[in-house]
Amino acid sequence: MTKSFSTLKTILAEFFPLHRTLASEGMDETLAIIGSYMPDPASYAVETFTPLTQVWTWKVPERYVVHEAYLETEDGERIVDFKDNPLHIISYSLPVDKVLTWDELAPHLRFNERRPNAVPWEFKYYERDWGFCLPKSQVDQLSREKKYRALINAEFVTEPENGLRVGVGVLHPADGRVSEMGEFIVQSHTCHPAQANDDGSGVVCEIELARRLSENPLPAGSMSIRFWFGPETIGTVAYLANHEDLIPQLKGGMFLDSTGNQNSIALQRTRQDAHLLDRVARYVLTKRGKEFREGEFAQVAPNDERIINGTGVNVPSISLSRFPYPEYHTSDDNLDIIHEDLLLEVVDVAEEIIRIYASNYIPRRTFRGPVFLSGYGLWVDWRENWALNRAIEKIMMKFEGQHTLFDIAEQVGLDYWVVRDYVEKFRAKGLVVAAPIPSEGM
């Protein structure tokens, strides 16, 4: 049964401190927490991919298990300890147990010059080495004359049952799935340990979005919505490589990232750049009357839209974020910089984009000649709605199978929902049929 929650930040606080790296116990716990809040109708489930198996040009990484990790002086003074903060080691560091001089140790220390009191987050997933992360202010105080013991007791696990995991749920419109309409995929990543905004904020926004679309489903005949949670890049690669039959079903996508910090909303456009999805997103953001920013594909906050909308997949995908922000990839990216109202503002925008895009279709006429409007109960009294009355002829002229509902609304200068509701009356009378938006997935 789905757990209730008071705020999105309370959900974020549950998984924020966990060691959420590509494949790890902390990742498993996080996906379980997400599942506890996902609405029951989404049938959320976790899927596992076997380590070292080939997925397109990549390989699924091993599970990373850290038993113990610390840096101390030779006489036992502890400097940093993994159990205090998972950021203290470079993610996927190799095992090490050495006593080192300062000159030998220094190349393995990471710090952030611009935020000298923060611990940076760094990783070595594929070009493996080892290292410790700590504030520059602490590094500056370490003796150059002492020797240091570096210990990282870690292992890389390859058993199939301990593989890389992703969580997925699907919500269907009112009256159930319509296979020819396809799906829209929403994504956020879960693999940044002790990072609240990047991208715990996107995760909780996605959970809230799923809750809303469960409680108030999309209109009958709309797309289904797929909610995806997992490790950045390799998670989506592994998932799609194992579900290539899904690609032609995907009609669009959205990535939610860094949504809780104090910056304006940024729309990152699709690779197509002037796609219907870009226009819908811009329409929703403009209608709100608040400042927002735009950027080209993968140029604002590049994430897994690079795979979804990338080579050989090509499903148009946007992202919504508040990137950049100064605390990025440091211990300063914590719950203190997350603002509940800003999280919810992004959810509001994402929800309206999805409601429009996923309910959109191409109306095709079944009639000839002018429709006898009053005879079919389709006449609109000009005294009650002048704008719609004056647009009826233009709307009917667009029923030739070349324009979507959103196209028509743009062209006649009316709100999307006004046009959709009116065209739905033609559909109910059998005067138009709904054709799906074509798939661009390869």
Predicted confidence (pLDDT) per residue in 111-134, tens digit: 999 999 999 999 999 999 999 999
The CA distance from 220 to 358, in Å, is: 11
442 residues of the chain, pLDDT tens digit each: 899 999 999 999 999 999 999 999 999 999 999 999 999 999 999 999 999 999 999 999 999 999 999 999 999 999 999 999 999 999 999 999 999 999 999 999 999 999 999 999 999 999 999 999 999 999 999 999 999 999 999 999 999 999 999 999 999 999 999 999 999 999 999 999 999 999 999 999 999 999 999 999 999 999 999 999 999 999 999 999 999 999 999 999 999 999 999 999 999 999 999 999 999 999 999 999 999 999 999 999 999 999 999 999 999 999 999 999 999 999 999 999 999 999 999 999 999 999 999 999 999 999 999 999 999 999 999 999 999 999 999 999 999 999 999 999 999 999 999 999 999 999 999 999 999 999 999 8
**Domain 8-60+161-359 CATH assignment equals 3.40.630.10:** yes
HSE-CB for 122 with a 13 A CA cutoff: 22
The pair phi, psi for residue 111, each rounded to 5°, is -150, 170
Looking at residue 62, its pLDDT comes to 98
Beta bridge partners of 230: 189
Cα–Cα dist 149/100, whole Å: 6
Rg over alpha carbons for the chain, rounded to the nearest Å, is 25
Domain boundaries, the chain: 8-60+161-359, 64-157, 362-435
- Residue 375 and residue 345 in contact, taking contact as beta carbons nearer than 8 Å: no
Find out whether 19 and 83 touch, Cβ atoms under 8 Å: no
CA 198 to chain centre: 11
Q: Do 20 and 27 touch, CB atoms closer than 8 A?
A: yes
Q: How many Cβ atoms are within 10 Å of 78's Cβ, its own excluded?
A: 11
Homologous superfamily assigned to 64-157:
Domain of unknown function DUF2172 (3.50.30.90)
pLDDT tens column, 8-17: 999 999 999 9
CB 184 within 8 A of CB 252: yes
For residues 132 and 108, is the Cβ–Cβ distance under 8 A?
yes
> 3-class SS at 331?
coil
419's tokens: 């046009």
Specify the DSSP class assigned to residue 272.
Answer: S
Counting runs of H as helices and runs of E as strands, what totals does the chain give? 12, 18
Torsion of CA 139, 143, 146, 152, to 10 degrees: -10
For the entire predicted model, the pTM comes to 0.97
Rounded CA-CA distance 309/441 in Å is: 8
Give 198's DSSP letter: I
Comparing 8-60+161-359 with 64-157, is the CATH topology the same?
Answer: no
- Cβ contact 27:165 at 8 Å: yes
